Structure 1
C-alpha cells in the first residue's frame, strides 16, 4: 500500500486551488440537477460563506497530497471540537483509479489521530458512485440523506 504525504498549501497555492475547486463544485452541483448558472452562483456563495478569510479562515486546513515528489491530489478539512469534516478531497485526473483517493483519506485519518480527533465526516454527491464506494470500503456509514424532486 502506498503512503501519501500531506503538505500544507501555501497562500500562493491556495488561490488557484480555490478557483479550480469552486468550479469543480459547481460542476457537481449541476450534475445533481441544477442549471449551470444556479450551480455557479451556489458554488461562489458556498465557498464565500465557508471561507470568508480564504486560507486563513480559522479551523480550516488545506493540503496538497504527494507520492514522493509527485503531487497527486489535495485535501480540505474543517475541525470542530473532536471532528474533522472533509469538505473536499480529489486526486489529479492523470493518476486516478490507482488507489490515491484511499491513500489520501488514510493520510487524513492519520492526521486526525495525531491531533486527537475522534471522528471524520464528509458529504458525497449521490451521483459520485466511485467515491461513495471508496468511503464505504473505508468504513464510513451514511448519517443522513438529501433528497430532491424537480417540479
Structure 2
C-alpha cells in the first residue's frame, strides 16, 4: 500500500494551485451538463465564496502530498468545530489508479485524528465513479443526493 506525507502549501505554491484547481472544478461542473461558460462562472463564484481571503482564509488547510521526493497530489480541507470537510483532493494525472488517492485520504484521516477531529466529509460528483468507489471503500457513506433534469430541447 502507498504511503504519503502531507506538506503544507506555501502561499507561493497556492497561487498556481488555485488557478488549476478552479479550472478542474469548472470541468467537473461542465460534466454535469452545464455549459462551459456557466461552469466557469460557477467555479469562479464558488472559489471566491469559499476562499474570500485566498490562502489566508481561516480554517482552510492546503497540502501537497509526497511519496518520497515526488509530488503525487494535493488536499484542501476546511475545519469546522470537530469536523473536516474535503473541498478538493487530487492525484497527479500520470499517477492515477496507483493507490495515491487512497493514501492521500488516509493521510487526511490521520491528520484529523491528530487534531482531535471526529468526522470527515466531502462532496463527489456523480460522474466521478472511480472516486465514489474509493470513498465507499474507505467507509464514507452517502448523506444526501442532488438531482437535476436538463430541460433544453435535444439537438
Q: 1:28: which partner in 2? A: 28
TM-score, with length taken from structure 1: 0.99
Q: 2:48: which partner in 1? A: 48
SS at match of 1:16: helix
- Is 1:137 aligned to 2:116, yes or no? no
SS at match of 1:145: coil
Runs of 4 or more above 3 Å deviation: none
Alignment of 1:104-115 (within 5 A): 104-115=104-115
TM-score, with length taken from structure 2: 0.97
Structure 2 residue runs without a partner (length 5+):
none
SS at match of 1:139: coil
Q: How many residues align?
A: 151
Q: Give me the whole-angstrom Cα distance separating, in 2, the residues matched to 1:112 and 1:35.
A: 37
Q: Give me the whole-angstrom Cα distance separating, in 1, the residues matched to 2:95 and 2:3.
A: 15
Q: 2:67: which partner in 1? A: 67
Q: Give me the whole-angstrom Cα distance separating, in 2, the residues matched to 1:95 and 1:3.
A: 14
- Is 1:8 aligned to 2:8, yes or no? yes
Over the aligned positions, Cα root-mean-square deviation in angstroms equals 0.4
